[in-house]
Amino acid sequence: MSHEQTGYEFGELPIDPIEPGTSVFVAGPALSPAEDLARSMVAHGTSSGEGALFISTNMTCKTLLQSCERSDPGVDATRMGIIDCSGQDIGNAQLDAEVKYVSTQSDLTGIGMKFSALYESLYPAVRDGRVRTGLISLSSLSMYVDMRALFQFVQTLSGRIDSADGLGVFAIDPTTHDTKTVNTLSQAADGRIEVREPEEGDDEGELRVRGLPNQPNGWQSFTLA
C-alpha cells in the first residue's frame, strides 16, 4: 500500500494527474455539471483496471451506474462498489457493481463501516490496489447531520483514502452552505476543483483547480462524453 504509485489520470478532462492519497472537493452550484464531473473523475479509472467506490446520497445505485455509463461508455461496473444511501428500494436489480445499502443518510456509522468493508473488498481485485472514492454529495448529507459530525466524517474518509494511497472526490454545492461551513469542511481535503457553467459556447462546463500542485492555471473548458 505504501509503494510508489503514479498519479490518478482523467482522460480528456483538463486535469493533470493527481497524486495518490489526495482528496479534493468538486464544488459547483446545482445547475452546474459539478456532480457529473465528480462521477466521471471517479468512474474513469475502471476502464484501466482501477476500482471506483461511490457513496451515493441522492441517486439509487442503478441510476448512478446509468449516469456513469452515459458519461463514459468504457466504464467497467465490475470494478465498482456503491453505498446506496438514497433510501429508495430498487428491488432485486441485477447489477455488476457490488452494492451495500444504508437506509438513511443520518447513519454515518453505517456509511463509514460499509465504506471500509467495500474498500477492502475492492482493493485486492483492482490494479495495484488503486481505488477512487466519490462522495456525491456532501451537501445532501449536510441536511441530515450537523456540520461538526459531517466534518469528522469527511476527515476520517480522507484519512482512510490517504493511508491507502487512493483518490477522494467529494462533491459539494457551495451555494447551499454558508462560508464558514464550506471553509471548515474544505480543511478535510487537499484541494478544490471549482465548476461553473460556460460563459459561451457548446462546452459542458468550466473548471478551475485550486490548492493542488502541477495543475493548469485559470478556468478550463471541459466536455463529458
Residues making contact with other proteins (CB under 8 A): 1-2, 100, 104, 106-110, 112-114, 116-117, 120, 123-124, 145-149, 151-153, 155-156, 158-160, 162-164, 177-178, 180-181, 184, 187-188
Nine-digit cell string for 38: 465528480
Give the closest residue to 207 by CA, choosing from 8, 10, 7: 10
Q: Environment class of residue 5 by beta-carbon count within 10 Å: exposed (0-12), middle (13-18) or buried (19+)?
A: middle
Task: Report in angstroms how near the CB of residue 114 gets to other proteins at its nearest.
Answer: 6
Task: Report in angstroms how near the CB of residue 102 gets to other proteins at its nearest.
Answer: 8
Task: Report in angstroms how near the CB of residue 175 gets to other proteins at its nearest.
Answer: 15
Would you say 95 or 113 has its CB closer to other proteins?
113
Task: Report in angstroms how near the CB of residue 176 gets to other proteins at its nearest.
Answer: 12
Would you say 44 or 79 has its CB closer to other proteins?
79
Where b means 16+ CB within 10 Å and e means fewer, 190-204 reads bbbbbbbebeeeeeb
Distance, in Å, from the CA atom of 162 to the CA atom of 203, rounded to the nearest integer, reads: 33
| Residue 18 C-alpha from the chain's centroid | 14
Would you say 152 or 223 has its CB closer to other proteins?
152
Would you say 116 or 214 has its CB closer to other proteins?
116
Would you say 171 or 188 has its CB closer to other proteins?
188
Would you say 11 or 159 has its CB closer to other proteins?
159
Distance, in Å, from the CA atom of 36 to the CA atom of 200, rounded to the nearest integer, reads: 19
Query: Between the CA atoms of 62, 67, 69 and 70, what dihedral angle is there, to the nearest 10 degrees?
Result: 140
Would you say 14 or 110 has its CB closer to other proteins?
110
Distance, in Å, from the CA atom of 133 to the CA atom of 41, rounded to the nearest integer, reads: 9
Task: Report in angstroms how near the CB of residue 90 gets to other proteins at its nearest.
Answer: 17
Distance, in Å, from the CA atom of 102 to the CA atom of 85, rounded to the nearest integer, reads: 5
How do strand 191-196 and strand 205-210 relate by DSSP bridges? antiparallel
Task: Report in angstroms how near the CB of residue 73 gets to other proteins at its nearest.
Answer: 31
Task: Report in angstroms how near the CB of residue 160 gets to other proteins at its nearest.
Answer: 7
